Amino acid sequence: MKFLSEYRDADIAKALIARIKAEATRPWTLMEVCGGQTHTIVRQGLDELLDGAVEMIHGPGCPVCVTPLEQIDKALAIAARPDVIFTSFGDMLRVPGSDCDLQQIRARGGDVRIVYSPLDALALAQRTPDKEIVFFAVGFETTAPANAMAVWRARELGVRNFSVLVSHVTVPPAITAIMEAPDNRVQGFLAAGHVCAVMGWTEYEPLAEKYRIPIVVTGFEPVDILEGMLLAVRQLESGRHEVENQYVRSVRRDGTPAARTTVEKVFELGDRKWRGIGEIPMSGLRLRSEFSAYDAERKFGVADLAVDEPAECRAGDVLTGRLKPPKCGAFGTRCTPEHPLGALMVSAEGACAAYYHIGKYRTQETAGAAS
């Protein structure tokens, strides 16, 4: 398949690994922002094949993982209402809240449904005028255009029984928070190609300049990631700090202007809490005031709900690259996919899930349990 099989070619991957090892005169530490990239790195063992030339640490790029506990609890409170049909993508159903998860709410009689698009939820609202239809709008900039379009269309069509529980976050403020942390070790970033396909990379250019770090927009297959690493290493070795685009088959500097315009019409930037990390200023999207009628937090009175994150779950340390999952004392013992402490163990893009399912914890669980 074009643009897939060639990016999984073992010979090309081996050649890239050899070039990285040959050109790196010292160990470099890079962070991949996207959870999908994390799974490729761990599943293919790319970090191990580099023999220490590059250390990859895993960033806060899984939208399910960074959704804070209190936002899950808001979803649970709304979904438990008898007048509500709560809709979501499937990856949110097993994310634990303080008491249970959406799957358990459904087992208790709540009407929780998986949809494949927010427009499906809007169509459901049109067909079911006697119920309130809520869509859980989670994600980075990648999913924001479709969610914005659903709200825009709801207002355009006059559908009043539709609303969204917004938990959108954006990447650039997270990079800022990581770089300004006192214990930061990141020397360069692999930026998520699908986010940049929407937003472009102009927002990353001042970050590269301010923090003097290379940022390489990268795809998701093994060859993509290895080429992104090579480009970042070459910048570090030559003292450059620029934004480069490895993902040329999908990303342009200005992204997709029509999608950006749709997002800007419906959403505005605001402060947002991240799971395990806390509030990052101006890091989230919220509905503009003219769309407040479609804000589920306001409609159902849960905006002020606040809860503390569980102390045993070290999601914040994993999401900011300070801790590899097997080094968490609960990993693989008190925290498993069947009984997760947090989203990172159940999300399809979660770093903890990647290490657990691929089996790396089996060789490292002793060290993890001892920490």
Domains in the chain: ranges and CATH:
1-308 (3.40.50.11740), 315-370 (no CATH)
Residues 6+ positions from 123 with CB-CB distance below 8 Å: none
**What is the CB neighbour count within 10 angstroms for residue 254?**
11
| Average pLDDT per block of 10 residues along the chain, 371 residues long | 79 97 98 94 92 94 93 98 97 93 97 97 98 97 97 98 97 96 95 96 98 97 97 98 97 97 97 93 97 98 91 92 91 92 92 84 42 36
pLDDT at 19: 98
Show the tokens assigned to 93: 């159903």
Whole-angstrom distance, CA of residue 321 vs CA of residue 35: 12
SS3 state at 193: helix
pLDDT at 361: 52
pLDDT at 5: 82
Closest by CA to 79, choosing from 124, 127, 136, is: 136
- Evaluated on CA atoms 270, 180, 325, 305, the torsion sign reads negative
Full-model pTM: 0.92
Closest by CA to 280, choosing from 363, 178, 153, 174, is: 174
Number of Cα atoms under 13 Å in the Cβ half of residue 360:
19
**What is the CB neighbour count within 10 angstroms for residue 295?**
19
Residues 6+ positions from 82 with CB-CB distance below 8 Å: none
Give the start-end residues of each E strand in the chain: 28-32, 54-58, 84-88, 111-114, 132-139, 162-169, 188-192, 215-218, 243-245, 267-274, 278-287
pLDDT at 358: 83
pLDDT at 309: 87
- Buried/exposed 342-365: b ≥16 CB within 10 Å, e otherwise: bbbbbbebbbbbbbbbeebbeebe
pLDDT at 364: 46
Whole-angstrom distance, CA of residue 257 vs CA of residue 86: 31
